[in-house]
Homo-oligomer: A and B are copies of this chain.
Amino acid sequence: MKVVVLAGGVGGAKLADGIARILPPEDVTIIVNTGDDFEHLGLTICPDLDTVMYRLAGVANDETGWGRAGESWRTVSEISALGGPDWFRLGDLDLATHLVRTHLLNGGETLTAVTQHLCQKLGIQVSVLPMSNQPAPTKIQSGETVYDFQTWFVQEKWQPSVTKVILPEDVRATRSVIRALETADLVLIAPSNPFVSVDPIFNVYPIAALLEDLPQAIIAVSPIVGGTAVKGPAAKMMQELGLPHTSRAVAGYYGERIDGFVYDVQDAGSCDDLELETRCLDTMMHTEADRIRLAQEIMQFAEEMLRD
């Protein structure tokens, strides 16, 4: 079965890793949100791509969920001392990724080619694809203020309440993203933030139309567990955007975009009467064993759905 995972950062990276560990690499493609990407200190930084790559390569920081294991902070400490911007915590190992990426992009390579290069060097066998080669910056509107995504997310610690998520127009998917979706048997929407991780992917032309037209199964995994987000601002944003902060509301938000929905045992029963296939599972992925188990259970759910 050919599987595509639509992934944001930490939750997406973990589910992608579980799937990558149980399927042949040629059957797995991870399409990653690049709406968070930004230019900082002259470098092109792709936080979600990096989180996914580091996790798949087995070099992720298990405590934070993002960044590199065994990271050090000499450069960013010195940036502070020199009066430079230090709000985005660039680790010494992480910096190498941004420098090599920027170098290759400046040389005219596409983000897709650069990502392939980095994955190959990191020993990643599954296919990791940016959703687009074009810049596709997500912006956050809070009342009268419009924030660049990382300014809101990191510098403002996602505290300004969200009035609207502004996604760019006219962003196009790459040929390899389209091909992966056209040939997929199953598309998994990772337990990532629906508004700022998943919607930016659907916003890329023609991904939403492709997913609507094609016969493959689409299963979303809820990022909300017990009324809160496992990580990040998803629950807070749901409230601010006028939705209940529940798994059920996530399923409702995805609506007709999905065929199946996986939600956590902490919310058992809450999604029983939804008009789509649901499966209540332990979705918490603390360890590698958790990631593998959840991936296996989701694949079993998908196989049952596709058999019917």
Taking a contact as CB atoms under 8 Å apart, the answer to whether A41 and B102 are in contact is: yes
Report how far A106 CA is from B79 CA in the complex, Å: 16
14 contacts between A and B (CB under 8 A): A41-B102, A42-B106, A43-B99, A74-B93, A75-B95, A75-B96, A76-B96, A77-B96, A78-B93, A78-B95, A79-B100, A81-B121, A84-B104, A92-B92
Interface presence of A97 (CB below 8 A): yes
How many residues from A make CB contacts under 8 Å with B? 32
Interface presence of A117 (CB below 8 A): yes
Q: Mark A60-85, 1 if CB is under 8 A from B, else 0.
A: 00000000000010111111011111
Interface presence of A286 (CB below 8 A): no
Which residues of chain B come closer than 8 Å to A41, judged between CB atoms? 99-100, 102-103
Report how far A240 CA is from B41 CA in the complex, Å: 41
Taking a contact as CB atoms under 8 Å apart, the answer to whether B103 and A85 are in contact is: yes
Which residues of chain B come closer than 8 Å to A100, judged between CB atoms? 41, 79, 82-84
Q: Which residue of chain B lies nearest to A81 when distances are taken between CB atoms in the complex?
A: B121
Nearest 4 Cβ contacts at the A-B interface: A78-B96, A84-B100, A42-B102, A74-B92
Q: Interface centre among A74, A117, A122, by most B CB within 10 Å?
A: A74
Taking a contact as CB atoms under 8 Å apart, the answer to whether A118 and B82 are in contact is: yes
Which residues of chain B come closer than 8 Å to A82, judged between CB atoms? 96-97, 100, 118, 121-122
Which residues of chain B come closer than 8 Å to A83, judged between CB atoms? 100, 117, 121
Taking a contact as CB atoms under 8 Å apart, the answer to whether A84 and B99 are in contact is: yes
- Least Cβ–Cβ distance between A258 and chain B, in angstroms: 36
Q: Mark A89-118, 1 if CB is under 8 A from B, else 0.
A: 000110111011011101000000000011
Taking a contact as CB atoms under 8 Å apart, the answer to whether A96 and B79 are in contact is: yes
Q: Which residue of chain B lies nearest to A80 when distances are taken between CB atoms in the complex?
A: B96
A25-45: which have CB < 8 Å to B?
Answer: 40-44
- Least Cβ–Cβ distance between A250 and chain B, in angstroms: 36
- Contact A96-B81, Cβ < 8 Å, known A42-B106, A106-B42: yes
Q: Which residue of chain B lies nearest to A76 when distances are taken between CB atoms in the complex?
A: B96
Q: Which residue of chain B lies nearest to A100 when distances are taken between CB atoms in the complex?
A: B84
Which residues of chain B come closer than 8 Å to A95, judged between CB atoms? 75, 78, 95
